[in-house]
Amino acid sequence: MTTLPRFGLGTFRLKGQTVIDSVLTALDLGYRAIDTAQIYGNEAEIGEAIERSGVPRSQLFITTKVWTEHLAADHLGSSLRESLDKLRTDHVDLALIHWPSPGGAVPVAESVVALRAAQDQGLTRQIGISNFSIALMKEAIAAAGSGRIATHQVELHPYLQNRQVAAFARSQGVALTSYMTLGYGEVLADPVLTEIAAAHGASTAQVALAWALQLGHAVIPSSTKREHLQANLAAQQLKLTDAEMARIATLDRGQRLVNPEGLAPVWD
């Protein structure tokens, strides 16, 4: 099984030429993992950028996420094939259920079994989930089988550290992928992060990313600026002290930024 990359490029909210430029720049800087989703409306542009980059497909790790409208067993596989066509590839490296089916309209087990079937057909190398509660995670793991859920992608940043979900995922051998690690930029002015950044000659964004990485999570920050993409990538070399990690742990205030009505589960 392909190892889940610890660091990748997020593409949420990036569309058209903006996402093409972001992906091309990131690949030029050395990024090799790209995260997208059906609902982002940018898979075709990402496919174009990858093709234009000249980076061999074998060197890339591409993630997409299946939208809620496509979670039924008779639709999931065909929707994933449409994603592959847009991405100009015969497989993705990771396919996730983006959100649990609203109101449980499609049972978790049905979607996960369909995702497993897509994996068995070679449409995706690995499978996973996103935005699940612990109860829904249990259902997904039971349906997938031991060791089949590669990652759970969740909102996680210094102001929402999601410790219960992280602990349960770890107990089940499921890697956690942090999205919104910079909290929509809200954490960048935090005094604690600012002080730690100054001590290392780093940026607050690099401190937040290094914090999540040191907790063992994967991160997928996005940017449209070359200097920010390069700085984000360099966060992998930043090592925080135990005392600094402990200080950041105190910043958790349960501040959830992504909580769409009618879509979000009952959070832990």
Known catalytic residues are: 40
Asked if 208 contacts 158 with a C-beta cutoff of 8 angstroms, the reply is yes
Residue with tokens 């542009």: 45
How many Å apart are CA 46 and CA 131, to the nearest integer? 23
Query: Tokens for 151?
Result: 């990652």
Query: Tokens for 195?
Result: 């002080």
Asked if 190 contacts 247 with a C-beta cutoff of 8 angstroms, the reply is no
**Residue 96 neighbours by CB distance under 10 Å:** 27
Is residue 88 left, alpha or beta, with left meaning phi > 0 and alpha meaning psi from -120 to 50? left
Distance, first Cα to last Cα, the chain: 30
How many Å apart are CA 90 and CA 173, to the nearest integer? 28
Beta strands per DSSP E along the chain = 9-10, 33-35, 61-66, 92-97, 124-130, 149-155, 175-179, 218-219
How many Å apart are CA 60 and CA 30, to the nearest integer? 10
